[in-house]
Amino acid sequence: MKILAFAGSNSEVSINKKLISYVSLFFNEDDVEILDLNDFEMPIYKHERELQNGIPQLAKDFAAKIDSSELIIMSLAEHNSAYSTAFKNVFDWISRIKDRKHFGDKPIFLMATAPGNGGGKNVIEVFLKRAPFSGANVIETFSLPNFRDRFEEGFGITDAEKLTELKSKIETVKQFFTN
């Protein structure tokens, strides 16, 4: 299976990217491509900019990555209870591609992590409200609160309960493709 994975963050030390990289290991029999949003940095969307210059090639390239995948795994950074600006800007530009649903009706395993107790639950909630209008078929969600206390670099999730929860959700995602 072709999987597209990315963190909704442009941080060079993104904890969401660390989570994505870790979760990707559970799909070791699949073709997983991990993208970095920094490779898709574009001017902030503005209608006049679109009229003058059209849709940036990077937006089209990102959309093509979505289209060539069978599953999207993403972990959204939570900035002020919503998406990061980096994710929102890619999302905005892709929305301008004619006759396109942002996520092409692809199945999505949606995750978030954060340093605090919330674990990105607000950004998950925001995305789930938007998903039906954006061609995002969210088949499972996972939140990892208190990242620094529950994740160890080079090892992964150290909290046994959260690890069990994650493995169960990964199994649900995999079963989606066998039914």
Q: What b-and-e string marks burial along 34-63, b requiring 16 or more CB atoms within 10 Å of the CB?
A: ebebeebebeebeeeebeeeebbeebeebb
12-27 pLDDT, tens per residue? 999 999 999 999 999 9
Q: Can you tell me the mean pLDDT for 129-152?
A: 96
What's the pLDDT score for residue 150?
97
pTM of this structure? 0.95
Assign 92 a pLDDT band (cuts: 50, 70, 90).
Answer: very high
For 90, how many CA atoms within 13 A lie in the half-sphere containing its CB? 26
Assign 64 a pLDDT band (cuts: 50, 70, 90).
Answer: very high
